[in-house]
Structure 1
Amino acid sequence: MVKLHEKLEDCLYLNIFVPLDVDLSSPLQSHLPVMVWIHGGDFIAGSASKPLYDGRFISNFTHSVVVSLEYRLGKKDYV
């Protein structure tokens, strides 16, 4: 069981969002544009998992694949 404010080491994530209406068997839809987004925050704060940065809307609206990265923050993680 994880405590509410416990700092976890597993903070490397790759979030992939695909439009809801994709038919991968169709040759015209098998190649979609891909947008990769890395959140800012100067390696101090921020998160790609905040609801504000949910890639589902962008993926469905632009009919593209959206990829966002979650990475380690703070100087102790780079030592």
Structure 2
Amino acid sequence: TFKVHFPLTGCLEDCLYLNIFVPLDVDFSSPLRSTLPVMVWIHGGDFIAGSASKPLYDGRFISNFTHTVVVSMEYRLGEEL
């Protein structure tokens, strides 16, 4: 028989990150005269792969072009290897 030993290791659950993109012309030194629309985008990936940090999903363009606050998120899709 084989004896299997799994050492106890620490587990880090710090796996959720928000990317927030705001239009360049927003002046944070004074109150906003009107509110901005917010778009929240969650990347797909069939719970296997994917990332909101890929250059294809960069929120700066859509934020500036549409004058919208864009929020995307990074989250873990499976076990960390």
Structure with bigger helix share is 1
- Return structure 1 stretches of 4+ with deviation > 3 angstroms: 8-11
For residue 40 of structure 1, the aligned residue among 44, 59, 69 is 44
Count residues with an aligned counterpart. Answer: 68
Gaps of 5+ in 2: 1-11
* CA-atom RMSD in angstroms: 2.0
* Structure 1 counterpart SS, 2:76: coil
Higher alpha-carbon Rg: 2
Output the TM-score relative to the length of structure 1: 0.74
Residue in 2 aligned with 1:20? 24
Output the TM-score relative to the length of structure 2: 0.73
Percent of aligned pairs with the same amino acid: 85
Measured at CA, do residues 41 and 21 of structure 1 come closer, stay the same or move farther in structure 2, by a change above 3 Å? same
Measured at CA, do residues 32 and 73 of structure 1 come closer, stay the same or move farther in structure 2, by a change above 3 Å? same
The code of the aligned residue for 1:28 comes to R
